[in-house]
Amino acid sequence: MGWNLLFWLVICFPANIALLASTFYQVLILSDLESDYINPFDAASRINYFVLPEYVGQGALCALCLFTGHWFMFLLTVPVTCYHLRLYVKREHLIDVTEVFRVLNAEKKYRIAKLALYLTVLIVTIFRLLTSVTCFGSCLGQSDLSRSNPEAKLWPPQPFCLKVEISLCVLLTFPTPFHLSFMGLPVRYPQDPPLRLTLTAVYYLGIEDDEDIGNLW
């Protein structure tokens, strides 16, 4: 439980914030270049500065999700990881200053799509982080209660024994087939470790005459 909280709080959350901020900054730079607020050389150099760190961080996060068994996060991030690897192998990961205006629209759409993906991953990370914090807090509460009262068991308990109370009601009726039924209802007693289960047995007897009643008693 502690490792799960550490994974989401210390590793995934800061990494996703960094990836989201880096991609958003690159989109802003491309928007400024499109509006002619910045020259192509500065735009290309600023964007290329963040490309390799983003690739390394995103790939490491994807591999970590794979090795730790977080399959949903792995499947969510593996497509962009494979695309990053393809761009790096083909040496197309950096923006060429001489062709920046030709690929401006494509690069901007590509980074906006990554921005949406990183935002989705961040939302999932926050949800899993809150779930881990809640579970970790519940475990701490159970541990504190167990230390304060070692005999107490929280609900639901671990393997328990039953303390059975049976109330038998004999009903004298017309001749009917033999029938025995049980009705049980568990009751929670946090101060009482065993689970108390009250059973009511109803026994129907076929009575034909007064002699049978006398024999019964």
Residues in the chain: 217
The 10 Å Cβ neighbour count of residue 93 is: 16
Q: In the chain, where are the structural domains located?
A: 2-147, 162-216
136, 9 contact by CB (below 8 A): no
Q: Are strands 195-206 and 162-173 parallel, antiparallel or unpaired?
A: parallel
Side chain identity at 48, as an amino acid letter?
N
35, 104 contact by CB (below 8 A): no
125, 8 contact by CB (below 8 A): yes
Could you give the CA distance from residue 182 to residue 160 in angstroms, rounded to a whole number?
21
200, 167 contact by CB (below 8 A): yes
Average pLDDT for consecutive 10-residue bins of the chain (217 residues)? 78 93 95 91 94 95 92 93 95 90 92 95 92 72 56 47 40 42 43 42 42 44
**Whole-prediction pTM value?**
0.61
